[in-house]
Structure 1
């Protein structure tokens, strides 16, 4: 296997049950990497610890993932690899990702659809895996300003690109969102992701983005739904709006990115932080300190797949089976057992979403 192939290929699971009973396709997600990797004694110990826990019935939940997007992400990655004459990586289906996650101790997954055309496929996917998948839907903050063609280029410099469904005015899209949530109470357990993104959206569009955030807050409170927040380089405005408008009872900062000051505000208000693989990235001590401040009783874990893959596999495709790595990092940060971290984060997910 070439170095470039290893750099893009699927990472191994931290541990997995009954791998001899999994399909050959599913095994390709891990064996091709495991066979080529020199695993340290520490990593073996961590793997054994998690394996023993899941054998005893311990499980965790992925608080925020995009499995349907993972499939498209890998397809695009393989197109790029083919153009460069490199080996392709295994192309899973979303169903394959569920199987792999369950074998790796991830019993429940919250699939997030935050663009208009994604909502119904997200709901259908949750229905097809009713034992382990639930849905959250919303209009992503960067999408909110595209509806009605109100977007402007942000600091990231990417051009504004409108798609046909962006012709639908924001208010009309919100009405459809509300209707879908009301019509699918078993599948949809949260509104998200919504919030503010000042990296992707320019200053002239930010008022519209803030108003869209407020509309989602209002809807979550009307329907008594948990709210998942996307907060990118907009901490102060996100906090200000939540405090001014009144946050829903269950408010979750997905892929938490704040510092110690923001963490103290979350703790004071009883809001939750969901940590992704970024908690283990070099230089992210603010995130690790935030976890200590917020405390385990208000923390969940997530992948935000297909991105934010945990260390030491940053840069490879992400999927729910990888969330145990983030749990393992969290247990080290909080200086608690892996068992306790699994138990409490799983209980927090059940408390927030009811599954």
Structure 2
């Protein structure tokens, strides 16, 4: 899910004719890459169609990310069925307060209201723990902290869930996938207090260049999405410019954060090349060099 305020800004571009139409396929990449973070279950069409369109433009691997129990089960099942799909499983940061307070709205797709409280969160985390042990599940996430949608009353549940996800990732030797929205200092604090897993990815990196240097020092991967192309996202381009190339990933976070010039239209893994080319321009390298680094980094980040 989006980790910056760009998602809300993106909606402003949805007005006007043709804005709901799927963008055309971009020119294929010559070096295949992976979409390090996508939500196929939230996109139109079938998994087969999404993977075929992505492969046609050089996006040959996708990481399907879970945000709640049903989505995490779906991610694991889909990754088991498709060689080019890897899964991550988690309770989204905004999911934890809703479970504790018995609110099924928002990201949650759990159905009728369930018993609230810490016991309910423990029960959900136990299922994430079970799923994390599966071989096709390469990561635990997206987890972290989100202060944009969840107010102060939800912070305690978010942090407890985040700490539990860190423990699960370390125990199973899986990659930790971070959702950090308006919570940079606290996310970095909790990672330091708990001890981050060997492989940690900041999904839809939303910090600035100074934070990128902090992440680099800790060895955290930084994954850039389509919002790096947005006119008002110079902070992301500045961060990308200073991040060590060996720690940089690319993602769609589809169906969100569609890159310019298709901002506001549905996103999908096949649009990764648009972002790759924009990232190459920021780094001042050719797209083949950028794609080569991204492919190697993603495989290393998720251990596949």
Q: TM-score, normalised by structure 2?
A: 0.89
1:41-89, CA deviations, whole angstroms, 9 ceiling, x for partnerless residues? xxxxxxxxx3xx1xxxx20000000011113xxxxxxxxxxxxxxxxxx
Deviation at 1:150, TM superposition (A): 6.2
Give the distance between the partners of 1:122 and 1:167, measured in 2 at CA: 25
* CA–CA distance in structure 1, aligned partners of residues 100 and 161 of structure 2: 12
Closer/same/farther in 2, CA of residues 205 and 150 from structure 1, 3 Å limit? farther
Q: Aligned pairs, how many?
A: 287
Q: Unmatched 5+ residue regions in structure 1?
A: 17-49, 72-91
Hey, what does 2:27 align to over in structure 1?
15
1:102 aligns with 2:55: yes
CA offset at residue 208 of structure 1? 1.4
Deviation, 1:126, is 1.3
Residue 348 (str. 1) matches residue 297 (str. 2):
yes
Task: Identify the residue that residue 41 of structure 1 maps to in structure 2.
Answer: none
SS state at 1:99 partner = helix
Contact 1:116–1:165 (Cα < 8 Å) also in 2: no
1:59 alignment counterpart? 32
Structure with higher Rg: it is 1
- Is structure 2 residue 119 aligned with structure 1 residue 119? no
**Aligned ranges 1:318-329 → 2 under 5 Å:** 318-329=267-278
Gaps of 5+ in 2: 1-14
Q: 2:98 aligned with 1:146, yes or no?
A: yes
Q: Which has the higher contact order (CA 8 A, sep 6+)?
A: 2
Q: Quick one: distance in 2 between partners of 1:243 and 1:292?
A: 25
Please name the residue that 1:330 is paired with.
Answer: 279
Q: Is the alpha carbon distance of 1:139 and 1:338 closer, same or farther for their aligned partners in structure 2, counting shifts above 3 Å?
A: same
List 4+ stretches of structure 1 deviating above 6 A: none
- Structure 2 residue aligned with 1:283, among 206, 210, 232? 232
Describe the SS at the equivalent of 1:164: coil
Aligned-pair distance for 1:342? 0.2
- 1:70 — aligned with what? 43
* TM-score (normalised: structure 1): 0.77
Q: In structure 2, what is the equivalent of residue 32 of structure 1?
A: none
The alpha-carbon deviation at position 140 of structure 1 amounts to 0.4
User: How big is the shift at 1:334?
Assistant: 0.4
Q: Report which of the two has the higher share of helix.
A: 1
Contact 2:132 2:169 (8 Å CA) reproduced: no
1:1-355 equivalence runs, <5 A? 4-16=16-28, 50=29, 53=30, 58-71=31-44, 92-130=45-83, 132-149=84-101, 163-164=111-112, 166-167=114-115, 169-182=120-133, 184-185=134-135, 187-355=136-304
